[in-house]
Amino acid sequence: MSVVQEYDLFSSDFFAEPEPILNDMRLSNPVYWCRRLESWVLTRYQDISHTIRDINFCVDRNGQISRGGSQFTRDKLNFCNGFFASWMVFSDPPRHTFLRSIASQVFTHQKMESYKHCIEHLTSELIQNLRAKRQIELIQDFAIPLPTLVTAKMFDIPLAHVTELKDWSSGIFTLLGAENASDEEINLTYHNLVKCIKYFQDLVDKHLNSKTNSLIYQLANTSESGYKLSREEVATLCIVMMAGAYETTTHLIANGMLALLQNPAQLSKLKDNPPLIDSAVEELLRYCGPAFSVVRRAKSDTQINGQNIQAGQKIYCLLHAGNHDPERFHQPSQLDISRQDNRHLGLGLGIHFCLGAVLTRLETRIAIHSLIQNFPNMYLNSSKLDWIPNFAMRGLKNLPIALS
């Protein structure tokens, strides 16, 4: 009788360097049953891309929402999970189609690109604040403030509230992708969520009463098949955009700068060839993008790569593993900022492709270009890096950098 290999997907070693285990899984157990997750885990690009787009699989609203806590925090956990389940990213058609259609009419490619000068200005101010320092913590000093300030500008949020906005964003994502939540984490997320929901509902009321042509006013007055978003739905969509912008853009900037600093030849190549920044950002999304996994659920009995999957079973699609599949990418373990045919999974695929992709790419291009041009001699200032133990998003807790 053959013995099935067991993999530890929750150790600090795995979160720090997942590739060795993922490479072994891809070769030996590409459709792996993880007892701890009670789910199938996919590591091949072809299996992942097929499953994400296949209508026989639905979004799992509970797959990336935490369990745990004591009886004293169970109601709070249920409240948080119920709110997360209303997000567009955890919705299926026709609900998802309705939400996506309205959001896409407002958050257009042209509209997001129109924030370029605003992003450049905010980036320049942050860079200027760093000049007096010899050492920085890139995440707190730069990678968090930039998307937070951009989001505040988008939604006309007063600068006096930006610090609260940042704290709420950080707290909200504590539960998403965490395997087992503590009472402390549940309380933190619950209180942040309650304050955040009230703030954005009040903000929606303010914009509706003022009747300005703001993004929030447009969201509330855009219709699809004769229907509009409710006040609560507009507030929820704003929260999703805010939290998503913080989580995705912050970690892409930080992960990307780490990858470049660890690959000096590629960093030098980018310094000498600034037009490569577009290609570089796509490669960073592939090589070290923050989206680590998405979850689907089988609607009926089916198969993936010859493996029987029962109706109702969950499937974790490890985007990071797919982006490092040698069957799809030439020398995937190599960072190559001029890589061709780079159809990565870093921003998802199909109907759930990242709504904020244009803005994330734009902010990251401007941020990384500005950092390497203004601080050409910066270097990593720590031999030990701590990664957030999260199965949904891959990111660092901090990134110490010496500027000169």
Q: Where are the domains of the chain?
A: 12-402
Q: In the prediction, which pLDDT does 1 show? A: 36
* Token output for 18: 């997942």
Instruction: Give me the helix-helix angle, 231-261 and 145-154, nearest 10°.
Output: 150
- Cβ proximity of 377 and 49 under 8 Å: no
* Token output for 28: 């030996």
Question: 3-state SS string over the chain?
Answer: CCCCCCCCCCCHHHHHCCHHHHHHHHHHCCEEEECCCCEEEECCHHHHHHHHHCCCEEECCCCCCCEECCCCCHHHHHHHHHHHHCCHHHCCCCHHHHHHHHHHHHCCHHHHHCCHHHHHHHHHHHHHHHCCCCEEEHHHHHHCHHHHHHHHHHCCCCHHHHHHHHHHHHHHCCCCCCCEECHHHHHHHHHHHHHHHHHHHHHHHHHHHHCCCCHHHHHHHCEECCEECCHHHHHHHHHHHHHHHHHHHHHHHHHHHHHHHCCHHHHHHHHHCHHHHHHHHHHHHHHHCCECEEEEEECCCEEECCEEECCCCEEEEEHHHHCCCCCCCCCCCCCCCCCCCCCCCCCCCHHHCCCCHHHHHHHHHHHHHHHHHHCCCCEECCCCCCECCCCCECCECCCEEECC
Lowest mean pLDDT among 58-62, 260-264, 388-392: 58-62
Query: How confident is residue 2, by pLDDT bands cut at 50, 70 and 90?
Result: very low
Q: In the prediction, which pLDDT does 3 show? A: 52
* Token output for 373: 């041009």
Q: In the prediction, which pLDDT does 177 show? A: 67
Q: In the prediction, which pLDDT does 169 show? A: 75
Q: In the prediction, which pLDDT does 62 show? A: 56
Lowest mean pLDDT among 177-186, 255-264, 291-300, 387-396: 177-186
Per residue in 81-138, pLDDT (tens digit) is 888 888 888 888 888 899 999 999 999 999 999 999 999 999 999 999 999 999 999 9
Per residue in 55-83, pLDDT (tens digit) is 999 986 654 555 666 777 888 888 888 88
Q: What is the mean pLDDT of residues 338-358?
A: 93
Per residue in 6-49, pLDDT (tens digit) is 899 999 999 999 999 999 999 999 999 999 989 999 999 999 99
Q: In the prediction, which pLDDT does 279 show? A: 98
Lowest mean pLDDT among 184-188, 195-199, 332-336: 184-188
Per residue in 198-221, pLDDT (tens digit) is 999 999 999 988 877 789 999 999
Which CATH architecture describes the domain 12-402?
Orthogonal Bundle (1.10)
Q: What is the mean pLDDT of residues 191-202?
A: 92
Q: In the prediction, which pLDDT does 63 show? A: 47
Higher pLDDT, 322 or 175: 322
The total of other beta-carbon atoms located within 10 Å of residue 116's CB is 13
Q: In the prediction, which pLDDT does 61 show? A: 62
pTM attached to this predicted model = 0.93
Q: What is the mean pLDDT of the chain?
A: 91
Cis-peptide, bond into residue 94, ω within 30° of zero: yes
Per residue in 153-185, pLDDT (tens digit) is 999 988 888 888 778 877 777 777 666 778 888
Q: In the prediction, which pLDDT does 253 show? A: 99
